[in-house]
Structure 1
Amino acid sequence: MTLKIKVYSDYVCPFCFLAEQPLEQAIKGKDVEVEWMPFELRPYPNETLKPEGHYLQSTWKQSVYPMAERMGIDIVLPCVSPQPYTHLAFEGYQYAKEQGKGNDYNDRMLRAFFQEEQDIGDIGTLTKLAGEIGLDEKEFRDALETRKYKEVHQQALKHAYEEAKITSVPTFVIGETKVAGMHSKETFEQLIDDEMKRQTPDIAEGMMCGIDGCEIE
């Protein structure tokens, strides 16, 4: 039975980007299906953060950069100021998912922002990035300009906020187990193994006898 993993993330969360590596390592060779789920940390009209501000500078210096260095991952605090809203990028994700490229799109958005400092709140930038992973640029741009996937995205957010009760990202729902924050490959492997064992039904071992006699199962 395929184990389903849902990853709730936002494209402006550096730990969501860093979490890709240990998760990918942990699921390698396993019967696992990963689905990335939208979560906006600061939806419009809330103010987004500015990279020159003390909060981001301090967080990156104390936590993000040291962690990325230990993991061997290139990452940079993007100079885009203020940070972009991510609703359009997530509406694009819904289009990409329909085309079977949801996970590729998700990875491209994170890398574009945290390694290339691209403005993922801009339709032109999003369209170019979509084209890079093989999506039809005209269809993609039309979908964003007409807000074709606005309602789908809003429903996804409602699910995250109200049904899944997500309060921070990244959050992983591995089978029936919810775990928030960054974790090592080994931790993910243990969680996955535990869930796979939990989902495997007990199988009778052929012929047997019980108190009422013998039978073949």
Structure 2
Amino acid sequence: MSLTIDVWFDYLCPFSVMTGKVIADTGLAQDHAVRWRPYELHPGGIPAGGKKDYPQGVWENSVVPMADRLGVPFTTAPSGPLPRTDLAMHGHTFAWRHGAGHAYDTAVFDAYFHHDQDIADLDTLAALAGESGLDRGRFTSWTASPEAAEHHRATQEEARAAHRIHTVPTLVIGSWRTEGVPDAARLLRAVHTLHARSRVPA
């Protein structure tokens, strides 16, 4: 019996990218379902006078060293203010419904972290969707629709109320939960234990 690995993430979070690398390196996706679930860290936008970019020292002292250990190619932090990611997350829903979720997510992460593109811009997202094999017109229609906005609002509320999500990345596998980039060995042990437990007759 396969397990479901739920991963809450945000496109502006470099640790979400690293979590994807850990999961890929463990090979868990070959035998278990990995469900990427968007969680917007700043749903109201960045308040005036508030944090507009990554905190001083975090990128150099935390992000880059961990990325280097994991083999994730991060160099300098993205420039400019932190973007809203709600439209990108609307696009995530469309992409996964149409079989291009992984390609789209990878494209959005790369656009933000490696090409300094504005992932809050609908035209930018539509171009990334097209590169991921999606129909740009249908993608744009969905992403800008009231239905997409309502779906996003509902999933964010579910994340907070039902799953107690308040930061990303957060991984949940059955009764097991961790926040932050998971240690590969610990993640594998958790999956092994839960998988063995699921095979024991009631």
Is the partner of 1:6 in helix, strand or coil?
strand
Counterpart mapping for 1:1-217 below 5 A = 1-28=1-28, 30-47=30-47, 49-51=51-53, 56-75=55-74, 76-79=76-79, 81-202=80-201
Could you list the runs of 5+ residues in structure 2 that have no partner in the other structure? none
Cα contact 1:15–1:182 (8 A) shared by 2: yes
Cα contact 2:10–2:85 (8 A) shared by 1: yes
Is the partner of 2:115 in helix, strand or coil?
coil
User: Identity over aligned residues, as a percent?
Assistant: 33
Q: Which amino acid aligns with 1:154?
A: R
Cα contact 2:87–2:144 (8 A) shared by 1: no
Q: How has the CA–CA distance of structure 1 residues 173 and 28 changed in structure 2, closer, same or farther, with 3 Å as cutoff?
A: closer
Cα contact 1:35–1:103 (8 A) shared by 2: no
1:175-206 deviations in Å (ceiling 9; x for gaps): 32111111222122111111111111239xxx
Length-normalised TM-score, structure 1: 0.85
CA distance in 2, matches of 1:149, 1:113: 22
Structure of higher CA gyration radius: 1
The more displaced of 22-31 and 93-102 is: 22-31
The more displaced of 192-201 and 124-133 is: 192-201
Q: Which amino acid aligns with 1:7?
A: V
Deviation at 1:87, TM superposition (A): 0.5
Deviation at 1:107, TM superposition (A): 2.3
CA distance in 2, matches of 1:105, 1:117: 16
Q: How has the CA–CA distance of structure 1 residues 119 and 161 changed in structure 2, closer, same or farther, with 3 Å as cutoff?
A: same
1:74-111 deviations in Å (ceiling 9; x for gaps): 123111x2111000000111111211222332222222
Cα contact 2:83–2:119 (8 A) shared by 1: yes
Q: How has the CA–CA distance of structure 1 residues 49 and 125 changed in structure 2, closer, same or farther, with 3 Å as cutoff?
A: farther
Q: After the TM superposition, which segments of 4 or more aligned residues of structure 1 sit over 4 Å from their partners?
A: none
Cα contact 1:9–1:171 (8 A) shared by 2: yes
CA distance in 2, matches of 1:127, 1:29: 27
CA distance in 1, matches of 2:36, 2:77: 22
Q: How has the CA–CA distance of structure 1 residues 74 and 45 changed in structure 2, closer, same or farther, with 3 Å as cutoff?
A: closer
Corresponding residue for residue 208 of structure 1: none
Q: Which amino acid aligns with 1:40?
A: E
Q: How has the CA–CA distance of structure 1 residues 45 and 72 changed in structure 2, closer, same or farther, with 3 Å as cutoff?
A: closer
Deviation at 1:30, TM superposition (A): 4.4
CA distance in 2, matches of 1:97, 1:12: 19
